[in-house]
Amino acid sequence: MKTKNIIEKTLEKFGVEKELPGRGDLSEIDKLNLIASESAAEEKALSDFMEMKYEEALRQFLKNNPSKTEKDFQENIIRIPMQSGGKIINFSDFAKSKDPKIKEIDLASLFTPGKTLASLTDSEREQVNLLLKLTLGKN
């Protein structure tokens, strides 16, 4: 009786009017327990496997980097250094300007004054096409 009063007072304190009954019949509890946990032997096998993978990766790292240590390997696989808070990127530095700079194309400086496109030689046309592609950014 005393425990029931404590539970009721606690529920009232948190604004719970009444205790709701469960909806399920617990018929799938065995399946859920199998999904949620491994046996001690399975946990040991998983632990051994991950330890083997770690040792294998460490061996390969030390082989490729003879001057490095296991501590360097651990720092290498931990991608975000928590003590520094990570890299801060100011996106406004990379934003495009509202007034973009207009590219000027000065093809006339390469040729004699008064020369038309029709009168260009094949090599001059190739030069013009290359300059246009480089200027307009079309590869």
pLDDT in tens, 1-22: 566 677 777 777 777 777 777 7
Total Cβ atoms within 10 A of residue 57: 13
Rounded average pLDDT over 66-72: 89
Q: Is the pLDDT of residue 101 over 80?
A: no
pLDDT of residue 60: 92
> Domain boundaries in the chain?
38-81, 105-139
Tell me the C-alpha distance between 31 and 44, whole Å.
21
**DSSP symbol at 75:** H
Percent of the chain at pLDDT > 70 equals 83
pLDDT of residue 108: 67
Tell me the C-alpha distance between 129 and 117, whole Å.
11
Among candidate residues 111, 104, 109, 105, the one with its CA nearest the CA of residue 125: 111
pLDDT of residue 77: 79
Tell me the C-alpha distance between 52 and 41, whole Å.
16
Rounded average pLDDT over 125-135: 81
Poorest-confidence range of 68-77, 98-107, 116-125? Answer: 98-107
One-letter identity of residue 23: R
pLDDT in tens, 23-68: 777 778 777 777 766 777 888 888 888 899 989 999 999 999 889 9
pLDDT of residue 32: 76
Average pLDDT of the residues of the chain = 77
pLDDT of residue 59: 92
Of 89 and 47, the one with more pLDDT: 47
